[in-house]
Amino acid sequence: MSSSEGAVQWTSRFSCATTRPGSGPWRFRTLDSFNLALEQHADILEMDIAMPVDGELFVIHAGMESRLFHITENVQHLRAEKIHSLEYYTLNHNLSGVFPNTFDEVLEHFKGKCMLNLDRCWIHPDKSKNRRRYLMQYHGMRWKIR
């Protein structure tokens, strides 16, 4: 895959999609893990989008909060301010110093570098779809959302 003027171009018949790098202690769905996945030749980054009560979109797999943050609440029932303060735990149950990324941050960081596959976006389908479309247009990214 290559990039020209912000548009992703396919250079092969085959592509690799991933949520995290192939090795290492990385928490998935963070900028660091996505960057490493691209270094390991992933073409498509798969990510889950969660929308808390106040509408800001985050790249978090809702339902995995106890494993990721050691909390019992679902992130979609929290406010964005609280989610910004959540710190990921490592696989060894130590605080990592890594915090959730917003969808806005991810779009800005990966614009023109790869394709994104958005998953788990159905919780608030209309509100979430409109917000995703707005952010993708704002960052100049092509989109196809069903």
Which tokens in the block code for residue 43? 């073409």
- pLDDT at position 24, please? 61
| Residue-range domains of the chain with CATH | 2-138 (3.20.20.190)
Cβ neighbors of 14 (< 8 A, separation 6 or more) are none
| pTM, to two decimals | 0.78
Count CB atoms within 10 A of the CB of residue 28. Answer: 20
Regions of the chain short of the pLDDT cut 50: 1-8, 10, 144-146
- pLDDT at position 117, please? 82
Cβ neighbors of 130 (< 8 A, separation 6 or more) are none
